Amino acid sequence: MRRKDKEILQPDLIKRIIREAQVCRLGLCKDNVPYIVPVSFGYDGTALYFHTAVDGRKIEFFTANNQVCFEIEHEVAVIPNEERACGWSFSYYSIIGYGAVEELVEDVDRAWGLQLVMEHYSERGNWEFQEQHLRHVRVWRIRIKEVSGKQSKDKTSASTAT
């Protein structure tokens, strides 16, 4: 990372940012063509989980190249500067990671992945997934191989307190 002063070095803070974020963006590539797509997701501390329709563009890209990059940001806000056009900035946490996407094919694994997605967005646990619902969705996991975090200067002092 070029800006070492903005690097997040605490693994627990990276995990907290992932757990609190609302959207994960996947960076995919097929035949030298990039594709970025936002997904809702779940997280178990070592992997991300998400679902797709039974077929579609994401699946075409996964089939061609299962290596993915993901991006997550949290607590993003514009910091205006009414005096200087180039003085505007952002307050943020940002996570970039890499891994390989794999489909979960067993119903118990698919239900587990969907459970993690639901837990990420709701207070409720123990969601039930009927077999007919599982037939209309595919569930995927990205085992995180590498992850790094970056934060704006205003977040630095706050992050050392966590």
Burial 39-74, CB ≥16 within 10 A → b, else e: bebbbeeebbbbbbeeeeebbebbeeeeebbbbbbb
pLDDT of residue 158: 59
pLDDT of residue 24: 98
Does residue 114 surpass a pLDDT of 90? yes
Contact, 96 vs 25, CB < 8 A?
A: no
What domains, with CATH codes, occur in the chain? Answer: 4-150 (2.30.110.10)
pLDDT of residue 49: 98
| Amino acid letter, 35 | Y
123-134 pLDDT, tens per residue?
A: 777 888 888 778
Cβ within 8 Å of residue 122, ≥6 positions away: none
Instruction: Tell me the backbone φ, ψ of residue 111, rounded to 5 degrees.
Output: -65, -40
36-46 pLDDT, tens per residue?
A: 999 999 999 99
pLDDT of residue 2: 65
pLDDT of residue 156: 67
42-69 pLDDT, tens per residue?
A: 999 999 999 999 999 999 999 999 999 9
pLDDT of residue 6: 74
Average pLDDT, the chain: 90
Does residue 157 surpass a pLDDT of 80? no
Mean pLDDT of 110-118: 94
pLDDT of residue 3: 63
How large a percentage of the chain has pLDDT more than 90? Answer: 67
